[in-house]
Amino acid sequence: MSEKAQNHRHKKEILARLQSIEGHVRGVARMVENDAYCIDIIQQTQAIKRALDKVNQLILNDHLNHCVITAIRGDDPLERERVISELADLFEAQSRL
């Protein structure tokens, strides 16, 4: 997590999606404040989760196509190990959710 972020090919799309999600979260907060129907709130939070999943997909795609490929093609075996371990940890954490 301390590694410097690389330029994301999808940076503009990621930022636009995050801004949209931010607005969506604010809307859900208003729904809660206004005592909206619980199912309606849950449907909106599920939509937010799907939107975040898409953001994660774009970021992972960029990471695999840039950072991971660069490390695998590079001469540093420790960097290759680090990147592979990092991915394994990410997927392990995801499976615990």
CATH code of the domain in which 18 resides = 1.20.58.1000
pLDDT in tens, 19-70: 999 999 999 999 999 999 999 999 999 999 999 999 999 999 999 999 999 9
Six token digits for residue 17:
């999606």
Contact predicate 58/13, CB 8 Å: yes
In a domain, 3, yes or no: no
- Using DSSP's 3-state secondary structure scheme, residue 62 falls into helix
In a domain, 4, yes or no: no
Q: Report, as an integer, the average pLDDT of 85-97.
A: 91
Number of domains the chain is built from = 1
Q: How many residues does the chain have?
A: 97
pLDDT at position 37 is 99
pTM, rounded to two decimals: 0.83
- Which residue in 96, 94, 82, 95 sits closest to 2, CA to CA? 82
Six token digits for residue 31:
């729904």
Residue 68: domain span: 11-95
